[in-house]
């Protein structure tokens, strides 16, 4: 059978006033990813062959986020906010392309899974003109109610327009609707704004389809998948649901989480098999951890790659561009940024390594700092393989340390060090025999210490 083509239109023109934010609602993040991008991910997972996003007139930032996360998506502007059907029609051009199925999703419903979108398409394949995703929230206030007779969907009634009887219905509209691509424009063009809000309600499409003698289907989804985000409280609830999902995915993928509830993931975190994550670890966006690595307690990892068998933390910070090879050790109170650590490198205590590359098996002693910033620009530090950087050294970039070189403890290295050399850059020690005795005698006699 031929695959049915699918256009997904994501509505993201809302202002999100209840977020009390300078930022458009759909750009708020859940698990490190903008809500609108989660929705686009689900659309792609459901097999969308075409994506369209409807944004508000001043939502340049939303358009940019869409271009980053789904470069092929068409962007349409709804210049006036006149309701969900009006928003869909902003993408008329995409609708007119003649897709088999059309699915409308809301940009503020970030937890919907691709498979649910797929399930919503099933009634279309068997002849329905429209299919609605239903759910049963604990408190249905604010949602459109699904009016049914003997399991058949007759209408969606917005709360404001609902009778007391209709308000008692527990089955609600989650906000996802699928349309027969040949019927969709005719249905939505027929929607009017004769309601209390003078808005064009997309939900009216159900009654219009029925009046045309077409069938409307319902697919039910679990509450925690269709929760919409309208406030910061709901944003935090969505975060909790997604974190629970990501923890489960990590465990099912073969990682050990010692205390799963204390580990925070990004949507794109990738853990290999036998990775162990100790309690209280935070993964920012863009992290991959290879098999057998251990992330110890209280570490913060973002934009980093951790090689197989590496050990990170406790209390380590990996920042974007940290690339740890196999078996690398990064210990407590160590920060790594934009640095390549080759296999076997050890940076075990109290160090900052930034804008650097470090060759295999080099040991970086406690308290080593790469001084990478001169107030204007960043500079690189290049350290070879099998080198030994003595404790409490400063490497003032741009600078290089050759393979096998030693840096004496407490050095301030400003010039390149050749391979296999010893560099010591600190004041020589001076011992003054008996000096302390003389000091004590002068003080006891009420004199001041000698200069």
Active site members: 349
**Residue among 6, 14, 180, 365 that touches ligand UD1 (CB under 6 A):** 14
**Contact (Cβ atoms closer than 8 angstroms) between residue 331 and residue 349:** yes
Tell me, rounded to whole angstroms, the distance of Cα 342 from its chain centroid: 27
**Residue among 35, 52, 62, 107 that touches ligand UD1 (CB under 6 A):** 107
Helix axes 35-45, 114-125, angle to 10 degrees: 50
As given in the structure block, the two tokens for residue 158 are: 């917005």
Please state the closest distance from residue 47 (CB atom) to ligand UD1, in A. Answer: 22
- Residue 352 site contact among Mg ion, ligand UD1, none (CB < 5 to 8 Å, cut-off depends on kind): none
Task: Give CA–CA dist 318/353, Å, rounded.
Answer: 10
**Residue among 37, 116, 173, 280 that touches ligand UD1 (CB under 6 A):** 173
**Contact (Cβ atoms closer than 8 angstroms) between residue 83 and residue 193:** yes
236 three-class SS = helix
Binding segment for ligand UD1 among 105-113, 217-225, 257-265, 300-308 (CB under 6 A)? 105-113
By the rule CB under 5 A, 228 interacts with Mg ion: yes
27 three-class SS = helix
- Residue 82 site contact among Mg ion, ligand UD1, none (CB < 5 to 8 Å, cut-off depends on kind): ligand UD1
By the rule CB under 6 A, 13 interacts with ligand UD1: yes
User: CA dist 350 to 306, 330, 358, 430, Å?
Assistant: 19, 10, 17, 28
Sorted by sequence, the CB contacts under 8 Å of residue 240 that are 6+ apart come out as none
130-159 residues near ligand UD1, rule: CB under 6 A: 143-144, 156, 158
Please state the closest distance from residue 220 (CB atom) to ligand UD1, in A. Answer: 14
Task: Give CA–CA dist 14/17, Å, rounded.
Answer: 8
Rounded CA Rg of the chain:
31
Q: Which is nearer to Mg ion, 86 or 337 (CB)?
A: 86
Give 299-304's long-range contacts (Cβ < 8 A, gap of 24+): 304/336
Q: Which is nearer to ligand UD1, 87 or 312 (CB)?
A: 87
Q: Which is nearer to Mg ion, 172 or 295 (CB)?
A: 172
**Residue among 6, 7, 8, 12 that touches ligand UD1 (CB under 6 A):** 12
**Contact (Cβ atoms closer than 8 angstroms) between residue 384 and residue 401:** yes
- Residue 311 site contact among ligand UD1, Mg ion, none (CB < 5 to 8 Å, cut-off depends on kind): none
**Residue among 62, 91, 106, 413 that touches ligand UD1 (CB under 6 A):** 106
Q: Which is nearer to ligand UD1, 144 or 309 (CB)?
A: 144
**CA terminus-to-terminus distance, the chain:** 97
Length of the chain: 451
- Residue 325 site contact among ligand UD1, Mg ion, none (CB < 5 to 8 Å, cut-off depends on kind): none
Please state the closest distance from residue 88 (CB atom) to ligand UD1, in A. Answer: 9
Q: Which is nearer to ligand UD1, 25 or 247 (CB)?
A: 25
91 three-class SS = coil
Q: Which is nearer to Mg ion, 32 or 144 (CB)?
A: 144
Binding segment for ligand UD1 among 10-18, 209-217, 231-239, 382-390 (CB under 6 A)? 10-18
Sorted by sequence, the CB contacts under 8 Å of residue 180 that are 6+ apart come out as 101, 102, 124, 128, 129, 130, 214
- To the nearest 10°, report the CA torsion of 42, 48, 50, 56: -20
Number of residues that bind ligand UD1 (CB under 6 A): 27
User: CA dist 367 to 95, 98, 160, 409, Å?
Assistant: 61, 64, 65, 10
**Residue among 203, 356, 381, 411 that touches ligand UD1 (CB under 6 A):** 203
- Nearest of 77, 436, 28 to residue 228 by alpha carbon: 28
Binding segment for ligand UD1 among 9-17, 121-129, 266-274, 429-437 (CB under 6 A)? 9-17
**Residue among 75, 111, 172, 338 that touches ligand UD1 (CB under 6 A):** 172
Task: Give CA–CA dist 241/227, Å, rounded.
Answer: 10
Please state the closest distance from residue 228 (CB atom) to Mg ion, in A. Answer: 5
CA atoms within 13 A on the CB side of 270: 11
By the rule CB under 5 A, 331 interacts with Mg ion: no
Binding segment for ligand UD1 among 102-110, 116-124, 239-247, 311-319 (CB under 6 A)? 102-110
As given in the structure block, the two tokens for residue 295 are: 């992330």
Please state the closest distance from residue 120 (CB atom) to ligand UD1, in A. Answer: 14
By the rule CB under 6 A, 302 interacts with ligand UD1: no
- Residue 390 site contact among Mg ion, ligand UD1, none (CB < 5 to 8 Å, cut-off depends on kind): none
Q: Compute how many other C-beta atoms are within 10 angstroms of the C-beta atom of residue 50.
A: 17
56-95 residues near ligand UD1, rule: CB under 6 A: 78, 81-84, 86-87
Q: Which residues form the interface with Mg ion (CB under 5 A)?
A: 228
Q: Which residues bind ligand UD1 (CB under 6 A)?
A: 11-14, 54, 78, 81-84, 86-87, 106-108, 143-144, 156, 158, 172-175, 201-203, 228
């Amino acid at each position: 059978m031929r695959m049915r083509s699918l256009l997904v239109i994501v509505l993201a023109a809302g202002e999100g006033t209840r977020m009390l934010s300078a930022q458009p609602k759909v750009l708020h993040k859940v698990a490190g990813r903008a809500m609108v991008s989660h929705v686009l991910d689900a659309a792609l997972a459901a097999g969308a062959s075409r994506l369209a996003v409807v944004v508000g007139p001043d939502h340049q930032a939303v358009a940019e986020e869409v271009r980053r996360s789904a470069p092929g998506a068409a962007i349409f502007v709804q210049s006036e906010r006149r309701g969900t059907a009006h928003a869909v029609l902003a993408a008329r051009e995409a609708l007119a392309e003649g897709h088999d199925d059309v699915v409308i999703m809301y940009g503020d419903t970030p937890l919907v899974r691709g498979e649910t979108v797929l399930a919503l398409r099933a009634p279309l394949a068997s002849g329905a003109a429209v299919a609605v995703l239903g759910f049963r929230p604990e408190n249905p206030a604010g949602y459109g109610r699904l009016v049914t007779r003997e399991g058949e969907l007759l209408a969606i009634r917005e709360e404001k327009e609902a009778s007391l009887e209709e308000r008692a219905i527990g089955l609600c509209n989650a906000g996802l609707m699928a349309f027969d691509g040949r019927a969709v424009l005719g249905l939505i063009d027929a929607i009017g704004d004769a309601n209390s809000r003078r808005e064009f309600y997309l939900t009216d499409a159900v009654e219009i389809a029925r009046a045309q003698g077409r069938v409307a289907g319902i697919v039910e989804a679990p509450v925690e998948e269709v929760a919409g985000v309208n406030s910061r409280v709901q944003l935090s609830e969505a975060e909790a649901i997604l974190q629970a999902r990501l923890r489960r995915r990590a465990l099912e993928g073969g990682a050990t989480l010692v205390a799963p509830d204390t580990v925070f993931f990004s949507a794109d975190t990738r853990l290999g098999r036998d990775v162990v994550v100790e309690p209280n670890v935070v993964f920012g966006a863009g992290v991959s951890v290879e098999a057998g690595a251990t992330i110890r307690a209280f570490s913060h990892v973002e934009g980093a790659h951790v090689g197989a068998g590496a050990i990170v933390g406790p209390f380590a910070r990996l920042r974007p561009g940290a690339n740890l090879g196999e078996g690398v050790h990064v210990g407590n109170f160590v920060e790594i940024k934009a640095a390549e650590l080759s296999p076997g490198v050890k940076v075990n205590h109290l160090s900052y390594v930034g804008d650097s590359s470090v060759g295999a098996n080099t040991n970086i002693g406690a308290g080593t700092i790469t001084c990478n910033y001169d107030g204007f620009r960043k500079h690189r530090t290049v350290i070879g393989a099998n080198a030994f950087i003595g404790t409490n050294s400063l490497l003032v970039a741009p600078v290089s340390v050759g393979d096998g070189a030693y840096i004496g403890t407490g050095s301030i290295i400003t010039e390149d060090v050749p391979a296999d050399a010893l560099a010591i850059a600190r004041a020589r020690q001076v011992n003054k025999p008996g000096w302390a005795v003389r000091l004590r005698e002068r003080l006891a006699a009420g004199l001041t210490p000698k200069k």
